[in-house]
Amino acid sequence: MITNFIKQLWLGKISLGKTFLFTIIPLSIYAYLIHFVDLGIVELSLFILLDMLGLIFSFFILACIWRSSSNNNSKFFIIFSRAFSIFFIIYFLYMAYFKWVI
């Protein structure tokens, strides 16, 4: 059942509103928990690994939103959801890589 749902997300068969709800909201909670809540993690490598995992999820979400937005007629919501998913890619890319290099 969950694999069928993920496959429908990947293929863009779910509406853009549901895709946004089931992908961006959990990723926002994930980013909040990692970066703003003290989880008691002292290993720097674990933080970087969690940020890389968030980056991988962000690319998955971008593909899901991009494919499901082709079925939507609202130009504002299409642009908003695509920009939000691109923002998460940039955010996790910064947190996982550029933050430690610069």
The pLDDT assigned to 29 comes to 93
**Percent of the chain at pLDDT exceeding 90:** 25
**Long-range interactions of 19-28: CB distance < 8 A, separation 24+:** 19/64, 19/65, 19/68, 19/81, 20/65, 20/81, 20/84, 23/60, 23/61, 23/64, 23/65, 23/85, 24/61, 24/65, 24/81, 24/84, 24/85, 24/88, 27/54, 27/57, 27/58, 27/61, 27/88
With a cut of 70, which residues of the chain have pLDDT below it? none
Q: What is the pLDDT of residue 95?
A: 86
pLDDT reported for residue 35: 86
